[in-house]
Structure 1
């Protein structure tokens, strides 16, 4: 059996239009569809949402984006979604972060900050100082979701044993 490939990630945000603007401008994502409203009903999507969310979810808004390499990003806005202050608790189970790759981290950080995000680390870090140009930094989107940026691919960064 062949290995699975990554298709998409879903992110809940308190402001769907702002999220679409941020991710399309900050990362050059394609805006594929939406925002659209999904209602609890007997449609295929309504029934699927009943299965996932349980009965009584009511409605939500959704938009679909795609990275330049074809990975989907679904943005969800639920009626009860509220902005949170400092929601990051690294020890809790669940999604910790997701990562984008860009050789020009410093320019990408400037774009993120200009759109309401922030650099979470004081500086860009080098995995192999003086040896290899592999760099990384953690940032946040305007809603506090953690975004890591790598200068090089995951395989290159870790194939040399970044921690050992």
Structure 2
């Protein structure tokens, strides 16, 4: 029986801009899976008349070329956006583990992103420490950055 996680989808105001952001700043990779989709089947799937979407699947960092991917699409007709909030019901954020949270955050800010909260360090059991921050991509989608390290026993 096949059962596996395949992708997460972000609907972007400007798919090309967001695709470039995730490739440059968060090390996602193109895998030649661009999409330009329309037709009766898409209308049936989405319950929209005349649906037309364009975008690309990006390989998430740390995975082989098969999957999972981050799918970034734009529809020709878009609803007004609702601002992302960390405690809004639904998918709250996507997370990336990085070597250096502060350096990656600086890259996000330089590329047009922003922060949600403050940079924090948290102690975990088994002498592990994590550094976290919530940031936003240029369209306001929330990204968690995290870095884990083993701390010396006291």
TM-score range, shorter chain: 0.7 to 0.9
Deviation at 1:148, TM superposition (A): 0.6
Do 1:16 and 1:35's aligned partners in 2 also have CA atoms closer than 8 Å?
no
TM-score normalised by length of structure 2: 0.79
1:103-155 Cα shifts (integer Å, max 9, x gaps): 20011001111111112223x101119x64311100000000010111139xx
Q: Secondary structure at the match of 1:27?
A: coil
Is 1:50 aligned with 2:43?
Answer: yes
Name the count of aligned residue pairs: 144
After TM superposition, the structure 1 = structure 2 runs for residues 79-158 of structure 1, keeping only pairs within 5 Å, are 79-81=76-78, 84=81, 87-122=83-118, 124-128=119-123, 132-152=128-148
1:54-107 Cα shifts (integer Å, max 9, x gaps): 2514211121101122330100101223674x7124454211111110120011
Match of residue 68, structure 1, among 58, 61, 75: 61
What's 1:26 paired with? 25
The Cα RMSD (Å) is 2.7
Call closer, same or farther: CA 1:81–1:50 in 2, change over 3 Å: closer
Q: Which structure features the higher share of strand residues?
A: 2
| Aligned mates of 2:86, 2:26 — CA distance in 1 | 24
Deviation at 1:19, TM superposition (A): 0.7
Structure 2 unaligned spans of 5+? none
Is 1:39 aligned with 2:18?
Answer: no
Q: Which structure features the higher share of helix residues?
A: 1
